[in-house]
A and B are shown apart, each in its own frame.
Chain A
Amino acid sequence: MHEIASLDRSRRTDSLGELAPRAAKTAWIVGGAGLALAVLSAVFFDDGWRHFNYSYLVNYAFYLSISLGALSFVALQHATRAGWSVTFRRLNEILAANMPLMAILFIPLALSLFLPAAAPYVWANPDLAEHSPLVQHKQPFLNVPFFLLRSAIYLGLWIWMARFFFTRSIRQDVSGDPELTVQMERFSGPIILLFALTTTFASFDWLMSVEPEWFSSIYGVYYYGGATVGGLAAAILAAMAAQRAGYAAQSITTEHYHDMGKLLFAFVVFWGYIAFSQYMLIWYANIPEETTWYLDRQSSAWLPASIALLLGHLFIPFLGMISREVKRRKVLLGFWCVWLLAFHWLDMFYLVMPSFASDRFPLGLIDLGLLVGLGGLYVGGLLRTAANVALVPTKDPRLPEALAFENL
């Protein structure tokens, strides 16, 4: 097993190097084109800017969730002193290290608060808030300065957490110092705690408050469940892409894909469990102030999306991924990762867009443009982060364990 480990270590090409800036440039060009498409559509379509703002939130929540899922993955691996996942950790660290970019991408959302007529946050609009006693009640919490302050705190903490793991892990690539692992393990517990609180309140603030009269205490867990599905699927696809390009060829094995696939499967079920819990309790108690949210999503325009989510985010992948073979074959696992990312995106769309238009399913060029646009920027950011680092933590003290590991 030592041979495989040293083989990977000796290959200097394990960091993307020259390839990264070129690929990043392509990603940015594609992203720029996507954004241009979205902006043009916003200009030419009726109600275009309002659609743009809502759709921006959908796509922001989507890409953010991938980084958050990856961040929680890294923290959990340290908290549990996991050995099997070492080869997958660096990719997740890179995904999480995209957090500063997510902070920059938050700026348009923050600015939209000052255009009350087109913002997804109607509570920020004093005229509308005046007519809703419930929104008035929430004003000590839902007001622009406090909202921005909280957003800054979430993003600041996430940037710190992601950097904390990323820099130490990179440093270990050089020194091989096991003390760094001990340090990361020691901080992982408090970081998970902070992560849970910030993610919950960020999802309350950024997503739940789009429907400011509605509330659900499980909402943060729901977003976390989806984020982990997104993060795991993205990490698996990133590993496949890297291996296709000839990197980390021998360190990431079928066994690691298999385990990541199992975890992804588990979180598909977890997401279903949380979604069911929320739906079930609201449906059964049938209290009008809670059911409004689902009534919008069961209107004739949105019912197909709700059912598609139920099938595509839960039942179909559940059946599709249950077999061991599927998780061990790259083509099949890759297919399910793409599938789940698509449905995770639909989930974000489903959370936000009925507030934009409950009488139609408003999928359009703007959404596509922003998906590609933010995606291009996101991938570009990843490639830049990944440029000069190995794609596998080469001197992690538990790397040999990960390399030797087999699913019996």
Chain B
Amino acid sequence: MSSGAVTANDNTLSDPRHRAPLVAGKQDYASITETVCRIAERDKTPRAWYVAFAVSASLTGMLFLLIGYLFITGVGVWGNNSPVFWGWPIVNFVFWVGIGHAGTLISAILFLFRQQWRTSINRFAEAMTIFAVCCAGIFPGIHIGRIWCVYWLAPYPNQMEMWPNFRSPLLWDVFAVSTYATVSALFWYLGMIPDLATLRDRATNPWRRLAYGTFALGWRGSARQWHRYERAYLLLAALATPLVLSVHSVVSFDFAVSQVPGWHTTIFPPYFVAGAIFSGFAMVVTLMVPARAFFGLKELVTLRHLENMNKIILATSCIVGYAYATEFFIAWYSGSQYELFAFLNRALGPYKWAYWTMVFCNVVVPHLFWFKKCRTTPWIMMIVAILVNVGMWFERFVIIVTSLSRDFLPSSWGAFVPTPIDVAMFVGSFGLFFTLFLLFCRYLPMVAMAEVKAAVSHGIEGHGH
């Protein structure tokens, strides 16, 4: 890694005397607007988009049909049984909530850390966050068995003497996830207003102008509006920052407040948060690599952006590995036979294939990112990111299924086998995710133009040297 001059096309070189440019090529305000807006303004939708949309919309349809089937028939259509009362639906819930963590981390925490590179990817990641939370929200809702009692999940007035159980972490989950979804959506929308106004101003078709104009809320870009906007953005970022930590901490409480061996360990909250960020960034990379190529965004979402995300994946992988190791060590150190059994059973028992898949994908593979070559080669990072997604799904599977399938009494031991409905609903949730994602890519500004422009101008006029 010699410290050569930073060229316009490769901004991954590092010379501590200069900051690498945030975007590649010769970009000015007009070219940034053009690059981003032309995707949403294209007259003819590309055929590939239709194909992808047809596939994902069909899968979404399948998901909702299966939900209907589930409502009519009951949760017996899943593999959930005694003692594994929480099967795939809760695995999927935790998986999707985790995916939804990169967006707010990028938009809130990296904003507070003044990481200007976030501007090229935040819109995309936030959109992904919201879609992932939509997918996540479905599973606990349909998991309750008696669907006509679904409103018991929400805290509601107690005329019917049905008091919400405030001592249950499942109730805290409803609060945590719904707060997170609300704030993420607000943050995403607020950030998009100036860009929606740009699309409105460029619109040649009156319907488009009306649609974008409605959602742009009368944005004119005056100094006063910008002033208010910046303040609101900073405040929302500060409010969203604790949410990044709180949501997955509360999700971890679902497990850790219990006395189930393998679930009850004090490192769970920060470990779950790190895992969520890990999987969220992996999903951003998985989607960003093809999207930036397909939509011609390579100069705005540069290799450096991907490299930075890969570094975060590496760092969070190390934290997750640290948590696995600490859990295992403490399981032995505690001297509790149940704890130790739970962990040995994970590594050596009937689900060892799942455990070692998890370890391989989450703890071994990401170490490729110590090498710059792997951090900056799209196809390699794509493979690593997909494996991380696989590994993080298996992590939740391992936590939920191995611990539940081995109850305290050997007479209550059991096994979990997913049904085809389990598999099809999980696949269907990807359909929903991609349907929303494709709509976003087609109709909304994928990159935060206004923010990139501010960051680029900062680079030009910035530090006075």
Q: Is the interface of A mostly helix, strand, loop or mixed?
A: helix
Mark contacts of A366-408 with chain B using CB atoms, 8 A cut-off: 1 yes-contact digit, 0 otherwise: 0000000000000000000000000000000110110011000
Instruction: Kindly list chain B residues whose C-beta atoms are within 8 Å of the C-beta of A149.
Output: none
Report whether A274 and B257 are in contact in the complex, using a CB–CB cutoff of 8 Å: no
Report whether B322 and A277 are in contact in the complex, using a CB–CB cutoff of 8 Å: no
Report whether B267 and A218 are in contact in the complex, using a CB–CB cutoff of 8 Å: yes
Q: Which of A62-70, A189-197, A356-364 contacts B (4 or more CB under 8 A)?
A: A189-197
Report whether A397 and B17 are in contact in the complex, using a CB–CB cutoff of 8 Å: yes
Residues of A284-314 at the interface with B, using a CB-CB cut-off of 8 Å, are 284-285, 287, 289
Total of A-B residue pairs, C-beta within 8 Å: 104
Rounded to whole angstroms, the CA-CA distance of A280 and B15 in the bound complex is 46
Q: Is B333 an interface residue (CB 8 A)?
A: yes
Q: Which of A49-57, A132-140, A341-349 contacts B (4 or more CB under 8 A)?
A: A132-140
Report whether A138 and B16 are in contact in the complex, using a CB–CB cutoff of 8 Å: no
Report whether B259 and A281 are in contact in the complex, using a CB–CB cutoff of 8 Å: no
Report whether B267 and A221 are in contact in the complex, using a CB–CB cutoff of 8 Å: yes
Report whether B333 and A141 are in contact in the complex, using a CB–CB cutoff of 8 Å: yes
Rounded to whole angstroms, the CA-CA distance of A215 and B26 in the bound complex is 57
Q: Is B204 an interface residue (CB 8 A)?
A: no
Q: Is A167 an interface residue (CB 8 A)?
A: no
Rounded to whole angstroms, the CA-CA distance of A186 and B269 in the bound complex is 30
Q: Is B258 an interface residue (CB 8 A)?
A: yes
Residues of B319-378 at the interface with A, using a CB-CB cut-off of 8 Å, are 322-323, 326-327, 329-330, 333-336, 370
Checking B15, B266, B370 against A218 with a beta-carbon cut-off of 8 angstroms, the contacting residue is B266
Instruction: Kindly list chain B residues whose C-beta atoms are within 8 Å of the C-beta of A273.
Output: 245, 249, 269-270
Rounded to whole angstroms, the CA-CA distance of A193 and B316 in the bound complex is 11
Mark contacts of A252-284 with chain B using CB atoms, 8 A cut-off: 1 yes-contact digit, 0 otherwise: 000000000000000001000110011011101
Report whether B333 and A215 are in contact in the complex, using a CB–CB cutoff of 8 Å: yes
Q: Is B1 an interface residue (CB 8 A)?
A: yes
In whole Å, how far is A380's beta carbon from the nearest beta carbon of chain B? Answer: 34
Report whether A193 and B318 are in contact in the complex, using a CB–CB cutoff of 8 Å: yes
Mark contacts of A175-186 with chain B using CB atoms, 8 A cut-off: 1 yes-contact digit, 0 otherwise: 000110110011
Instruction: Kindly list chain A residues whose C-beta atoms are within 8 Å of the C-beta of B314.
Output: 189
Checking A137, A178, A221, A274 against B17 with a beta-carbon cut-off of 8 angstroms, the contacting residue is A178
Chain A residues within 8 Å of chain B by Cβ, number:
48
Instruction: Kindly list chain A residues whose C-beta atoms are within 8 Å of the C-beta of B253.
Output: 280-281, 284
Report whether B16 and A289 are in contact in the complex, using a CB–CB cutoff of 8 Å: no
Report whether A285 and B465 are in contact in the complex, using a CB–CB cutoff of 8 Å: no
Checking B15, B259, B268, B330 against A215 with a beta-carbon cut-off of 8 angstroms, the contacting residue is B330
Residues of B37-92 at the interface with A, using a CB-CB cut-off of 8 Å, are none
Instruction: Kindly list chain B residues whose C-beta atoms are within 8 Å of the C-beta of A189.
Output: 314, 370
* B328 nearest CB neighbor, chain A only: A217
Rounded to whole angstroms, the CA-CA distance of A186 and B259 in the bound complex is 43
8 contacting pairs across A/B (C-beta < 8 A)? A215-B334, A216-B330, A218-B266, A218-B267, A277-B249, A289-B336, A397-B17, A404-B465
Extra A-B contacts (20), CB below 8 Å, given A1-B463, A178-B17, A189-B370: A81-B16, A215-B334, A217-B329, A218-B269, A220-B326, A273-B245, A273-B249, A273-B270, A277-B268, A280-B257, A281-B256, A281-B265, A281-B266, A281-B268, A285-B257, A285-B264, A289-B336, A398-B16, A401-B465, A405-B463
